[in-house]
Structure 1
Amino acid sequence: MKKIIFSAVLACLFVFNTQAQDEETSNDDYNKWQVRFRVLSVVPSPSDDIDGADVDISTAFTPEFDFTYFFNKNIAAELILATTKHEVEIEDVADLGHVWLLPPTLNLQYHFYANDFKPYVGAGINYTIFYGVDSGDLEDLDYENTVGFSLQAGVDYNLNEKWFLNLDIKKLFLQTDVTPKGATESSEVGIDP
């Protein structure tokens, strides 16, 4: 919980965004593009199907870019681009090294307007690519690239006509099959950041 609170404080203090949306827009008068630069905290909620063992995946901090296209004043699509490195271990058993995740995510959003505040909710799809694997104590590990779903909620606060602050929370429903070298069966590991 402390990591989540710390991440929210970081987002509020350091994440500035460029805004293509005008502060006052009508249904026919709005800009279609919005670009953000954010600092993310990725906090996995690991689970696994390995009997008698618990997989632990580290929290990571990373920069993130996203691009939002507005179909109209309220409905938009957001493409999220970031990559993170996570340490992986089976608690008190084995160091599984680290793995990089590239999880491009496309969300469909609905934006509300309340003066300088613009809250939004979204849902979408994610495709995670695993790369840069260091297997730690094992000879080799293979992580299967996978599709997942995402939910998000956030709010933009206008500082002026071009800049705003953003606070955003996302949940990815993400699982992968992990196979050690020479094994005939894989283990399903839930990452769910």
Structure 2
Amino acid sequence: MNRKALSALVLGVSLAATANCMAHEAGDMILRVGAANVDPQTSNNTLVPGLDVDANTQLGITGTYMLTDNLGLELLAATPFKHDITLNGAKVGDTEHLPPTLSLQYYPMDSSSAFQPYVGLGINYTAFFSESTTGALAGTKLQLDSSWGLAGQIGVDYSLNDQWLLNAAVWKMDINTDVKVDGTNLGELEIDPMVYMVSVGYKF
């Protein structure tokens, strides 16, 4: 075997080994930490015309356990999101919430690929708390009920080496909450946010 052929063979084996160490494989635990933005889609709500819920960014954390080379189970968590509630542009209150989401993910690429796009479908539970009022609603008691709903996601991991990776992900969540003011149920508010996250991940 000549020197060029040997060099090519060594390079090929090295690249293959590098690719394999980048793989998502059954049994891997992947922890991702980054910035998560929740953007409620309430501008077209029919509960109270002009009522809107502002976006907010917090620390987002996801943990994925790879059930197989192509299937993962992910839990999304975050520090509490705080949203201003406005009516025709004027603040009338605010609330905090936590939206833990459990999703089953599918990774279609071969496990040797550094790029690992994925899709996911799961269940979201949203708990609202620390509601307060101001402006036109000052002096009233605001209550937002907890919510269960479906969540869909798309995302992609890019492996930097066999442990570190970069990630970007988007979720669409079905979040509907009953709104009560001084105990009177005003009806259901559809929040249905888009959630965007960019993060750094580590594989165990």
Query: TM-score range with shorter-chain normalisation?
Result: 0.7 to 0.9
For 2:176 and 2:23, the matched residues in 1 are separated by: 42
Q: Could you tell me which residue of structure 2 aligns to residue 170 of structure 1?
A: 171
CA distance in 1, matches of 2:154, 2:187: 32
Aligned: 1:86 with 2:87? no
Which of these residues, 116, 119, 122, is aligned with residue 117 of structure 2? Answer: 119
Deviations 1:109-163 (CA, angstroms, capped at 9, x unpaired): 0012252100000011011000111122321111000101100001000111111
Alignment correspondent of 1:39: 35
* TM-score computed with the length of structure 1 as normaliser: 0.80
Q: Which has the higher contact order (CA 8 A, sep 6+)?
A: 2
* Runs of 5+ consecutive residues of structure 1 not aligned to the other structure: 1-20
Query: Could you tell me which residue of structure 1 aligns to residue 128 of structure 2?
Result: 130
Distance 1:188 1:100, change over 3 A: same
Q: How many residues align?
A: 167
RMSD of Structure 2 on Structure 1 (CA):
1.9
Q: Distance in 1 between matches of 2:183 and 2:173?
A: 30
Q: Is the 8 A contact 1:48 1:187 kept in 2?
A: no
Select which of 94, 99, 105 maps to 1:109: 105
**Does residue 50 of structure 1 match 2:47?**
yes
The answer (yes or no) to whether the contact 2:91–2:134 under 8 Å persists in 1 is yes
Q: Report the identity percentage.
A: 33
Bigger Rg over Cα: 2
Runs (4+) off by over 6 Å? none
Q: How much has 1:182 moved relative to structure 2? A: 4.4
Unpaired runs of 5+ residues, structure 2, are 1-19, 194-204
Q: Against the structure 1 CA distance between its residues 177 and 163, is the aligned structure 2 distance closer, same or farther, given a 3 Å change threshold?
A: same
